[in-house]
Structure 1
């Protein structure tokens, strides 16, 4: 009995293999480079960090970020293989952002895929692990959910996005929750507090430890569309932008949240806080509509861009209201001693003191950075809704 072997389909495949092999043999072989095995950032056991980039044709490379308290760019050194590098630290365990400049061009670290997004820029993120980061780490605890939520802003006539955190168990129950509105700073968008701010993880850890009450956290986009250049004074432009945010927040964001989520819609169960620009927005909303929030937090901010005389006039009704203090369960202000807005902060405190507005004040180390703002959130959230 003869056995027959079919070669149908085999011959074309064999030919294709031979053709491909021949073509590959004729192609120039790629020369390996140090970039193939380069790692950046590289965190060492002693908490020093090496940042590297392969740029053999560059003539100057620097790096800047909030890991450097001087805020001055650090020069990288080039070796004979075209790798630029610098080692900094040791650093206190925390989450840091940094950006490279290659021959004057802002450049992301191509070996680091972890980024922070702003409204017009990106930054790399690196973590130096340690016990100090425990409050903001992704732990094995029940986790809430952070949603990207799109809503129609009638005041801005456009679709807008916000991030909304719901606590663990929200989807499975019918409980109503207090709401904490958390505002970002200039240059960022509504993703800031959830990404580099690590708000979701901070709230998860606090709630799991019984240190904070379960709450909904709303992180709206406080960066407004820039108005067309009309030649009007800069002060008027800033006032218009301030009004744009207030209208969107009060007429669109808050109504949408209270309609869509299971909230406790009263002042005793509402909190508002913000950093830098968001702190200014918090002051504006609080002193314009003091009846809305019993809990207020201002991080690294003040009446910058506006004179104290202007603020005293604009918010005269609230500042001179004898019931203002009675209707605020918490008015918390925090800032780093090296923060560049310290002068505005001190003038704002003086204005509040003049009108006998009561507040709690924390002056920490450091400057105008997320390193402080995450700590402030971790301290502020446990005081809410008590």
Structure 2
């Protein structure tokens, strides 16, 4: 049964208790209809399927809203995109990771089974899509069908896209959970790549992104996968778009802020390059960790992407070299400027070269919680912190130099601290630029 919600002349509908014989469970589907859906009754529309559907159009206790209806309406009103349908497929409590992970030997290195990704894939293709196509006026075929997901929803999008390009012609893989990265008992970062690479080049357009402040998710994973896709035959700017978003964290509000870009890439008109900015790479060592700059180009439509290959000029080449992929090769201490060009756009930035930078820095975090807080096994404050007595939690970790964390203190998935609304602070953040000790005080917890 379709239930309309009180919004935009009943253009957001919920299908509650949608039953799956394949998975043996039920969930809600949420469907956005474009502005002219009820007027142009002969028209059919392309469809975007999204995971974590309970957050696609609204917020709940465990997460913010992507507000995809707001973004889609805006793009249609402004002109760069025609109307589409958006289908949000809700998760089932306690089944999210099971359903979003496909069975593969690498998975067993990082997680315990069951892995029901194959069955979830069949549920989407063989149960959800036929229902949507019967109930609403859709355009069918991969050229009109896209999928989008973030975090674990990003990896299931990646898997389904490469497994079934005959069904989905476009995939948006946002902040993908490709690698399990955590800290061992000594505070050393360990990284376990668990996703399966296909090494193929199907007829598929891929949007791949990562925020620069996602902590241990690390934008390097998205960049490395983009390079591998290029080796597989994908062409940057054509069937592959990479966007490394400076300062973005791992939350619905961060994904919402850039969701317009894959919508334009799949269904709209991105326009022409309008501005170019060089992000990152402010300081690099002759000795120490590899550093890259991130040239981001913005288009007249508001679309943006990271330029994977660019032309660079260094004013003092005896100090620094920049490879076409943005890698900085430091030669001698000093300061110079780097100029990058993409199309008719040009940008420049000052880069400081020092003798050496540390590979990792030691960060110690202490969190004070309210007296009414139960004793949790651990909290998350960029890194894991554990009970230290007297309402304190403490932890230390060796973190790669330059890594940025943006977060709320939490005691489980979606269970965050409550920040004062008049403080102007929506999240906390720190940059692992040097050894440091950080202290946070939790005022209260979200209900």
Normalising by structure 2, report the TM-score.
Answer: 0.46
1:5 aligns with none
Please name the residue that 1:376 is paired with. 258
2: CA distance between counterparts of 1:370 and 1:159?
A: 24
1:198 matched to 2:67? The reply is yes
2:168 to 293, 298, 307: 293
1:153 is aligned to 2:20: yes
Q: 1:144 to 1:381 in 2, by over 3 A?
A: farther
Give the CA deviation at 1:220. Answer: 0.5
Runs of 4+ in 1 over 6 A off after TM superposition: 141-144
- Counterpart selection for 2:43 from 172, 175, 200: 175
User: 8 Å contact 1:142–1:204 — kept in the other structure?
Assistant: no
2:196 counterpart (289, 311, 315): 311
| Contact 1:212-1:383 at 8 Å conserved across structures | no
Preserved contact between residue 13 and residue 30 of structure 2 (Cα < 8 Å): yes
> 1:309 & 1:356 partners in 2: Cα distance?
23
Q: CA RMSD in A?
A: 2.8
Q: Does 1:320 align with 2:200?
A: yes
Q: Say if 1:360 and 1:310 are closer, same or farther in 2 by CA, change over 3 A.
A: closer
- CA shift in 2, pair 1:351/1:168, >3 Å: same
Q: Going by fraction, where is helix more abundant, 1 or 2?
A: 1
Q: Distance in 1 between matches of 2:25 and 2:194?
A: 35
CA–CA distance in structure 1, aligned partners of residues 83 and 169 of structure 2? 17
CA distance 1:233–1:301, change in 2 (3 Å): closer
2:66 touches 2:255 (CA, 8 Å); kept in 1?
yes
Task: Answer with 302-311 or 162-171: which moved more.
Answer: 302-311
Q: Normalization by structure 1: what TM-score?
A: 0.53
Structure 1 residues 320 and 169: CA distance shift in structure 2, 3 A: closer
CA distance in 1 between partners of 2:152 and 2:241 (Å): 20
CA apart distance, 1:222: 4.0
In the alignment, structure 1 segments of 5+ residues that lack a partner are 1-140, 185-189
Distance 2:263 2:9 in 1: 16
Q: Secondary structure at the match of 1:191?
A: helix
Kept in 2: contact 1:308–1:348 (CA 8 A): no
- Please identify which structure carries the higher strand content: 2
Residue in structure 1 matched with residue 233 of structure 2 by the alignment = 356
Residue 74 (structure 2) pairs with residue 208 (structure 1): no
Match of 1:280 in 2: 155
**Which residue in 1 is equivalent to 2:374?**
none
Measured after TM superposition, the shift of residue 256 of structure 1 is 1.2
Displacement of 1:249: 1.3
After superposition, the C-alpha distances for 1:94-116 in whole angstroms (9 at most, x for unaligned) are xxxxxxxxxxxxxxxxxxxxxxx
Counterparts of 1:100-179 in structure 2 under 5 Å? 145-150=11-16, 151-172=18-39, 173-179=41-47
Deviations 1:222-257 (A, max 9, x none): 457547xxxx96867456232332122122111211
The answer to whether the 8 Å contact 1:143/1:167 transfers is no
- 2:143 touches 2:168 (CA, 8 Å); kept in 1? yes
CA positional deviation for 1:159: 2.5
The alignment partner of 1:170 has SS state of coil
Give SS of 1:283's match: helix
Contact conserved, 1:308 with 1:347, CA < 8 A, in 2?
no
Cα distance in structure 2, aligned partners of 1:339 and 1:385: 28
Give the superposition deviation at 1:169.
2.5
Q: Tell me, yes or no, if the aligned pair for 1:308 and 1:351 is still in contact at 8 Å.
A: no
Are residues 287 and 192 of structure 1, via their aligned partners in 2, closer, same or farther at CA, if it must alter by over 3 Å?
Answer: same
Describe the shift of the 1:346–1:238 C-alpha distance in structure 2 as closer, same or farther (beyond 3 A).
Answer: farther
Residues 206 and 355 (structure 1 numbering): CA distance in 2 closer, same or farther, change over 3 Å?
Answer: same
Q: Match of 2:214?
A: 339
